[in-house]
């Protein structure tokens, strides 16, 4: 079942082209990672999928429906988002912030039910944030806030989860924990996950498919084993590398060796 379809998507900021001819078909219950160098269009693509940036009609479809015809509230019932940066201007408790994920389902002036609170507790236990439930969101660390935001997206109970660099503020323990949680969530609930990631090896370990972008175009898409090759890393990232087999998972593991001659030098 196709959850997200993108047909020939072009996007520009004023005169600067950022995305060109993007075609995608993303299936239910799979974990997709969007990879590519800085400035390749990863976040711009993700923002087009969530209607933050407005693509043309007949370019982006959610469950077969043109995203331009879906209201914000209805879209919030179909997809949840973990943004790259979250600014907290008000002194909410962590629990109250997580419960905001239930707002698309509440009528005006309606408060959260016991089942909403149970959903929040379950998600926060998974992300190790339940112990922070009474703390102010402005008093916790950036990594703790990021894990709470993942909890908020989980309680939103959607079929699609979009994440923009979801582990960039986390230590290695919580990076692996969050991606393992999201991957398990995807499989158990048949949720389509699309994550912008920078770490190639984390993407390889947790993704069913990877989408490799460069200069706003899709250069390759498929399983990590198919897409992540020494030749492509050298071409796209201007970095020579070795790819070995991870002895634990059996998946490819990228070991950078040096900046390629094409990529210049930092010396």
pLDDT of residue 143: 84
pLDDT of residue 260: 63
pLDDT of residue 225: 94
Note the pLDDT tens digit of each residue in 7-21: 999 999 888 899 999
**Residue-wise DSSP of the chain:** -EEEEEEEEEEEETTEEEEEEEEEEEETT-EEEEE-STTSSHHHHHHHHTTSS-PPTTSEEETTEEGGGS-HHHHHTTEEEE-S-----S--BHHHHHHGGGGGGPPTTPPP-HHHHHHHHHHHHHTT-GGGTTSBTTSS-HHHHHHHHHHHHHHT--SEEEEESTTTTS-HHHHHHHHHHHHHHHHHHT-EEEEE-S-HHHHHHH-SEEEEEETTEEEEEE-HHHH--HHHHHHHHSEEEEEEE-TTT-SEEEEEEEE-GGG----
Instruction: Tell me the whole-structure pTM to 2 decimals.
Output: 0.91
Mean pLDDT of 71-94: 88
Note the pLDDT tens digit of each residue in 184-229: 889 989 999 999 999 999 999 999 999 999 999 999 999 999 999 9
């Amino acid at each position: 079942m196709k959850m997200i379809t993108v047909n020939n998507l072009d996007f520009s900021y004023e005169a600067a082209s950022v995305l060109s001819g993007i075609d995608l078909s993303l299936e239910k219950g799979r974990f997709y990672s969007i990879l590519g160098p800085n400035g390749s269009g990863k976040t711009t693509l993700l923002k087009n999928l969530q209607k933050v940036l407005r693509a043309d009609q007949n370019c982006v479809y959610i469950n077969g429906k043109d995203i331009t015809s879906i209201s914000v509230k209805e879209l919030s019932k179909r997809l949840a988002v973990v943004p790259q940066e979250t600014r907290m201007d008000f002194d909410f408790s962590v629990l109250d912030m997580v419960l905001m994920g239930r707002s698309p389902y509440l009528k005006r002036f309606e408060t959260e039910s016991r089942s909403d609170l149970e959903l929040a507790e379950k998600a926060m236990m998974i992300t190790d944030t339940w112990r922070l439930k009474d703390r102010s969101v402005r008093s916790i660390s950036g990594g703790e806030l990021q894990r709470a935001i993942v909890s908020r997206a989980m309680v939103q109970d959607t079929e699609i989860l979009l994440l923009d660099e979801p582990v960039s503020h986390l230590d290695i323990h919580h990076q692996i924990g969050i991606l393992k949680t999201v991957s398990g969530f995807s499989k158990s609930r048949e949720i389509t996950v699309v994550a912008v990631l920078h770490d190639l090896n984390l993407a390889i370990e947790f993704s069913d498919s990877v989408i490799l972008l460069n200069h706003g175009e899709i250069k390759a898409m498929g399983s990590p084993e198919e897409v992540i090759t020494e030749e492509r890393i050298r071409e796209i990232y201007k970095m020579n590398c070795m790819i070995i087999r991870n002895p634990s998972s059996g998946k490819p593991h990228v070991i950078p060796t040096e900046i390629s001659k094409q990529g210049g030098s930092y010396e």
